Amino acid sequence: MKIQGTKIELIMTEQKIKQGDWFCAIEGLAIADKIFYFYFEEFDKIPQNKNMGDYKMSVIQYRLFCDFDGNPIKRNRFKIFNAEYVSPITPKYERVLKKSIKENPKEYASFVKFLKTSKEMKGHVTINYALKEDNKEEVIQNLNTIRGKLHSKFTFIDFVKIKKECQCVINMNNILDDIADTQLYVRIYLIYKFGDSLGKRILFNDLDFEIKGGKL
């Protein structure tokens, strides 16, 4: 049966690597901790062949045991990366993994213990909006007011709604895709914990911002 469009991408990702599988990460051999799915939202630059709510990408959260030569990794073992750039473990690296586990029992025991610890990873969405020098201070006040009115968890739609209620001078429909020729702009960070979502939308938990460019 042929599956069209975004469904086939999602299913292929799920079939390749599942939670609890050993796989080849960028840095070495790892166990998949969690897999998160992201979908296109209003702040994205959506390709012409995609629509709002279509599958965008998968992100895999994982724990590293050893490098590709079988040397145990002892630091920075908790990682997250775009699932497109990882691959299922091959027979060659299955042999490397088994040999490493056998030759490094203490390190493997430590790794098994590490697997039982709860870990969370934070991410953020960056959005840029053009500003005028004469409304910079008003924008700062507006964004501080918006931040104070946001709930503990909110979607991008909630953010835009509160922005309208606060009569923010920023045109939220005018997101900058390229800032190269923009003299003054505000960079907004919408912060979230990986895994927090409402349907196909990210659930954010904080907002931060900074003014970029302008007069020296």
Span 205-215, pLDDT tens digits: 999 999 987 55
Q: What is the pLDDT of residues 111-124, one digit of tens each?
A: 999 999 988 899 99
Burial class (CB in 10 A: 0-12, 13-18, 19+), 74: exposed
pLDDT tens-place string over residues 75-127:
999 999 999 999 999 999 999 999 999 999 999 999 999 999 988 899 999 99
What are the two backbone dihedrals, phi and then psi, of residue 115, each rounded to the nearest 5 degrees?
Answer: -60, -25
